[in-house]
Structure 1
Amino acid sequence: MVSTETQVMETVRRWWVLAVVCMAMFMGVLDSTSVYAALPAIARDVGFAPAEIQWVITAYGVAVGGLLLLGGRLADHMGQRRVFMAAVAVFAAASLGCGLAVSSEMLIAARVLQGVGAAVMTPAGLSILMHVFPEGPERNKALGLWGGLGGIGASAGLLLGGVLTDWVGWAWIFYTNVPVCVIVVIVCPVLLPRGVRNRRALDLPGAITATGALVLTLLALFRIAEHGIGPFTLAFGAGAVILTAMFVVIERYSPVPLVPLSIFASRTLVGGNLVILVAGVAVDGLLIIVTLYAQQVLGLSAIQFGLTMAIMTVTSVIAVFAGQHLVTRAGFRRVASGGLVLLAIACVLLSSLTPDGTVVKNLLAGLLVFGAGMGAAFVAGQIAALTGVAQEHAGLAAGVEETSFAVGTTVGAALASAIAIGYATRGNVATPSVAELTEGFGAALLALAAIAALGAVLAVVLLRHVPQEQAIRS
C-alpha cells in the first residue's frame, strides 16, 4: 500500500508541475497581447510599411493556429516532457530573435518561429496536466488555474505592453520571456514526468494536409478582417476546403491516423470544442470592437485601455474558479450554456455604445458580465473537451481543444471587423464618421450575441446533464 506521506508528496509534486507548465503558458499568452500596444513603436523603429505592420500579429497567429493540432500529436508521439522542453526552448530563442530584430523580415521570421514554439508548447503542457491530474475535482482545479492565468495574462499583456514600450522599449516585451523560459527548461527534468509515449509512426500526410488546411483557413480569415472578400481570400478558402477533404480521406484509411475520426463520436468532446469555438468567436470579436471603440472613439491611452480591460479579467478569473467547482457538482451542460448566455447578454448590453460615451456609462456593466460568462464557458468547455480521453491521445485532445479556440478567435476578429466596417460604410462612405463607426460596432456586437446564444443551445443539446463526480463513478 502507498503510505499517506507518499500520497501527500505526490499531490504536492502535481501542483509544482502545474506551476511550471503554467509559467510557460503564461508567457505565451502575455506575449500574444502585449504586442498590440507596441505596434506603432515597432513600425517606427524597424521600418514597417503601414500595410505590413499587421503581419507582426498575423504571422504569430497563423503559426500558432496552424500547428496546434500537430503540436499536440507530437507530444503523444515523442513524449510530453521532451516535446514541451523543446518547444519552450524554441519559444525562448525566437523571443530573443524578436527583440534583436533590425528589419521587418527578421522580426516576422522570429514571430513565426515564436508561434511554432507556442503551438507545440501549449498542447504539450496541457497533455502533461491531463497525465498528472486524474479526471475529477483535482483536474478541474488545475484547469481552472490554467484558464484563470490565461485570462490574467491576456489582460496583463495589454497593460504591460504599453508600460514596457514607454519605459524601456518594445524589445523588452520579448526579452522578458527568455529568463522565465530558461528557468522552466532547467526544472522540467526534475519535476515533470516523462508521460505516455505512442511509438507508432507519425501520420505525415495527415499532418501536412491538416496543417496546410488550418494555415490557409486562418490566412483567409485574416484577409477578410483586413481587406474583405477578394481574390486572395477566395483562393485561400478554396485551398483550405481541398486540403480538408484530402485530410479526411487520408485519416479514414490511414493505419496510424493523426486524428482518429472515432474520437469525434464522443458528444462530450464535440460539445466541449464547440463551446470553446463559440466562446473564442465572442471573446476576440468583442476585444477587437472594444479596442477600436476605446481608442478611436473614447481616445483612451494604451495604459488606460489595459486598466479598463482588467475589469473583465477580474470577473473572468472569479468565474473560472467558481465554474470548475460547479462543473463537478452540476455538470458541463449547465455551466457551459449559462456562460454562453452571459456572453450573449453582455454583447447586447455593450451594443448600446454611443459616440459621446464613457467607460463607466458604456463599458463597465457589459465587461463585468462578459468576464463572468467567458470564465464559465471556457472552463466548462475545456473540461468537457478533455474528459474521457485515453492517455495516448491526451496531446491530440489538447491540440484539438486549443485549435478550436485559435480558429474561434480568428473567426471572431474577422467577422466583427467585417460587420462593423461594412455597416459603417453601407452608404458608400469612404471614411465613416464617429457616429457611423459606433453604429457599426453595435451591429457587430449584436451579431456576436446571436452566435453566443446559438452556442448555448448547442451546449444544451450536445453536453450531458450529469455532474462530473457521478460521471466518473459510473
Structure 2
Amino acid sequence: MNRLQVKWLSLLIVSSSVFLAVIDIFIVNVALPSIRKGVNGTESDMQLIIALYLLGYASFLITGGRLGDHYSRKKVFITSMLLFTVSSLLCGLAQTAFQLNTARFVQGVSAAFMIPQGISYIHILFPEHKERIKALGIYGSIAGSASVIGQFLGGLLPDIHWVVEGWRLLFLINLPIGFAAALLAARYLHDTPPQQSGRFDISGVMLLTIALFALVFPLIRGRELGWPLWSICSLAGSVLLLLFFAYDQRRKLAKQTNPLINIRLFSYRDFNIGLCAVLFYFMVQDSYFLINVIFMQTGLGFSSSETGILFVFQGVGYVVASLVSIPLVKRYGKRVLQGGVVMMILSLMMHVFFFRSDVLPRPVLLATLFFYGTGCGSVLPSLLTMALKSIPVHFAGAASGTFSTFQQTSIALGIGVVGGIFFSILGSQTSITAYMGAYQTATGVNILFLLLVSFFLYILPEEKEARAGS
C-alpha cells in the first residue's frame, strides 16, 4: 500500500471515532422505551442514559486533546477506542439501570479522549489546505451519516430478538467496529512525538466534572424523588462550584500554569453571544428526540422500528440542508442560520398540530420531520463558525474545545429541563390526553428556547463588525 493510500485509509480509521461517538447518541434516542423495559428503569434513568454519556464527553473533551499532545495521539486513540468498545460491551451486558448508566458515562469519557485525536490527525495527515478541506468534509459527512444510521438502527434493532434482547444489539454492534479500528490504527497510523507542553490541570477537570454533575443530576433525579433537600443543595452548590471554577481558571492563567479553559476567550463579545445561542439551541436538540420518541411510542403506540424509520426523514433533511447551507452562509452570513431557526419553530408548531392520535396523515408527518431536519441542517454546521469568527488564530484550539464542552453540557441540561417538564406534567397518567398535554407544554418550552436562539443570532455582529470590534 503506497503512502497516498495509507493517508486516506488513516482518515477512515480516525473517522471511525466520530462515527461511533455520534451513532451512540442517536441510536439510544429512538430506543429509550425498549431500553427502559429491558433494565426495568425509571423515567429519570432514561434521561440519565443520554445525560451521563454527554457529561462524560463534556467534562474530559479538552483534557482529551491535551492528553494526545502529552503522550502521543496514536497511543491515546487506540487506548480510548478500546475503552469505548469495552464500555459498549458492558452496556450490552447490563442487567440494571445503574450498571447501564455507569457504562454509558465511561463511554462518554472514552469518546472525549478519542475524538480530539481524530481531528488532530486530519491536520497532520493533510497539511495542504485543499486536501484538508476535502478530508474535513469526509469526516463531517461520516458524522452526519452516523446520525441517520443511528436513528434507523435505534428503531430497527429493539424489534429484533435473536440470541439476546434486541436493545442490547444497540451497544454490541460497536464491538466489531471498535476492535477493527484499534487494530488498523496499530498497523497504519503513524505515531506523533509527545509534546511535554506543561502540566495537566487535573484539579480543573475534577472541579468542572463535579460542578456539572451537581447541576444536571438533581435536575433529572430530583423531580422523580419529590425534590429532596439534597437535590436543592446540589443545585445551589453547582452554582458556587462553577463560580469557583471560573475564579480558579483565572488565577491559574495569571500564574501561567496551563488552565483547563483560557478565560481570555470570554473577553470577545461575539464569542459570548455565540455561546448563548449554543446553550439554547443544544438544549432543544436532544430533548426534542427524548419527548418525541416517548410520545410516539408510549403515547401514540408507534412501534420502535416505525419510529426509527420516521426519524430517518428528519436525518435526511438535516444532511441535505447541511450540504446546501454551508456555501450559502459564506454569501449571506447569519441570515441562513436565522432562517433555519424560523423553520425549526414553524416545524415544532406543526408537530403540536399534527402529532395526534386522531390526526396523523403519514405524508404530512414525514414532511414535518423532514422540514424540521432541514432547519437543523441550516443552523448546526455553521454555528461553531459564527461563534469563533473573531477569535484570533492562536486561541482557535482552546475556543473550539470550550465550544464543544459547552455544547455537550447544554444537551445534557436540555434533557434535564425539558424532559423534566414533560415527565412532571405527565406524572403517572397514561391517557392520550395526558401525553398530549405534556408533549405540547414541553414542545412549547423548546419553541421558547429557539426564539432565544433567534434573538442571540440577531444581536451577533456580522463578520465585518466582529473584526472591527476585535
Q: TM-score, normalised by structure 1?
A: 0.82
Does residue 184 in structure 1 map to residue 181 in structure 2? yes
Equivalent-residue separation in structure 1 for 2:134 and 2:388 (angstroms): 14
Contact 1:340-1:373 at 8 Å conserved across structures: yes
Contact 1:29-1:153 at 8 Å conserved across structures: no
Identity, % of aligned positions:
25
Does residue 112 in structure 1 map to residue 111 in structure 2? no
Partner of 1:315: 317
Equivalent-residue separation in structure 1 for 2:213 and 2:57 (angstroms): 9
Partner of 2:348: 347
Bigger shift: residues 313-322 or 59-68:
59-68
Q: CA deviation at 1:128?
A: 4.0
Partner of 2:53: 60
Equivalent-residue separation in structure 1 for 2:397 and 2:222 (angstroms): 31
Give the number of equivalent residue pairs.
456
Equivalent of residue 238 in structure 1, options 232, 236, 241 = 236
Equivalent-residue separation in structure 1 for 2:224 and 2:15 (angstroms): 33
Bigger shift: residues 261-270 or 447-456:
261-270
Contact 1:144-1:379 at 8 Å conserved across structures: no
Q: Deviations over 1:45-90 (max 9, x none)?
A: 66x5657853555543442333334334434544444433321121
Partner of 2:445: 447
Equivalent of residue 91 in structure 2, options 91, 98, 103 = 98
Partner of 1:156: 152
Classify 1:218/1:212 alpha carbon distance in 2 versus 1 (closer, same or farther; 3 Å): same
Equivalent of residue 330 in structure 1, options 306, 329, 332 = 332
Equivalent of residue 246 in structure 2, options 234, 245, 248 = 248
Q: CA deviation at 1:213?
A: 1.4
Partner of 2:460: 462
Contact 1:218-1:410 at 8 Å conserved across structures: yes
Bigger shift: residues 388-397 or 291-300:
388-397
Contact 1:65-1:406 at 8 Å conserved across structures: yes
Equivalent-residue separation in structure 2 for 1:197 and 1:41 (angstroms): 46
Gaps of 5+ in 1: 1-5
Equivalent-residue separation in structure 1 for 2:55 and 2:303 (angstroms): 28
Partner of 1:298: 300
Q: CA deviation at 1:147?
A: 4.5
Contact 2:27-2:170 at 8 Å conserved across structures: yes
Equivalent-residue separation in structure 2 for 1:102 and 1:88 (angstroms): 24
Q: CA deviation at 1:294?
A: 0.8
Bigger shift: residues 440-449 or 79-88:
79-88
Contact 2:55-2:409 at 8 Å conserved across structures: no
Q: Deviations over 1:305-340 (max 9, x none)?
A: 101111101100111112222233433x23332222
Equivalent-residue separation in structure 1 for 2:193 and 2:449 (angstroms): 38
Equivalent of residue 404 in structure 2, options 402, 405, 413 = 402
Bigger shift: residues 250-259 or 268-277:
268-277
Q: CA deviation at 1:151?
A: 2.5
Classify 1:400/1:78 alpha carbon distance in 2 versus 1 (closer, same or farther; 3 Å): farther
Contact 2:18-2:143 at 8 Å conserved across structures: no
Equivalent of residue 141 in structure 2, options 145, 149, 172 = 145
- What root-mean-square deviation, in Å, do the aligned CA atoms of Structure 1 and Structure 2 show? 3.7
Contact 2:59-2:205 at 8 Å conserved across structures: no
Aligned to 1:351, the other structure's residue is in SS state helix
Contact 1:76-1:394 at 8 Å conserved across structures: no
Q: CA deviation at 1:349?
A: 1.8
Q: CA deviation at 1:348?
A: 1.9
Gaps of 5+ in 2: none
Classify 1:387/1:192 alpha carbon distance in 2 versus 1 (closer, same or farther; 3 Å): farther
Does residue 214 in structure 1 map to residue 219 in structure 2? no
Bigger shift: residues 383-392 or 171-180:
383-392
Partner of 1:265: 267
Q: CA deviation at 1:91?
A: 0.5
Equivalent-residue separation in structure 2 for 1:393 and 1:81 (angstroms): 24
Amino acid of the residue matched to residue 267 of structure 2? A
Equivalent-residue separation in structure 1 for 2:68 and 2:161 (angstroms): 35
Matches within 5 A, 1:9-28: 16-28=9-21
Partner of 1:3: none
Does residue 284 in structure 1 map to residue 280 in structure 2? no
Classify 1:26/1:157 alpha carbon distance in 2 versus 1 (closer, same or farther; 3 Å): farther
Equivalent-residue separation in structure 2 for 1:247 and 1:25 (angstroms): 29
Classify 1:314/1:300 alpha carbon distance in 2 versus 1 (closer, same or farther; 3 Å): same
Q: Deviations over 1:417-437 (max 9, x none)?
A: 333345557xxxx52632233
Contact 1:148-1:317 at 8 Å conserved across structures: yes
Q: CA deviation at 1:303?
A: 0.4
Equivalent-residue separation in structure 1 for 2:259 and 2:330 (angstroms): 33
Contact 2:284-2:446 at 8 Å conserved across structures: yes
Classify 1:338/1:346 alpha carbon distance in 2 versus 1 (closer, same or farther; 3 Å): same
Classify 1:402/1:161 alpha carbon distance in 2 versus 1 (closer, same or farther; 3 Å): farther
Equivalent of residue 30 in structure 1, options 15, 23, 28 = 23
Partner of 1:203: 201
Aligned to 2:444, the other structure's residue is in SS state helix
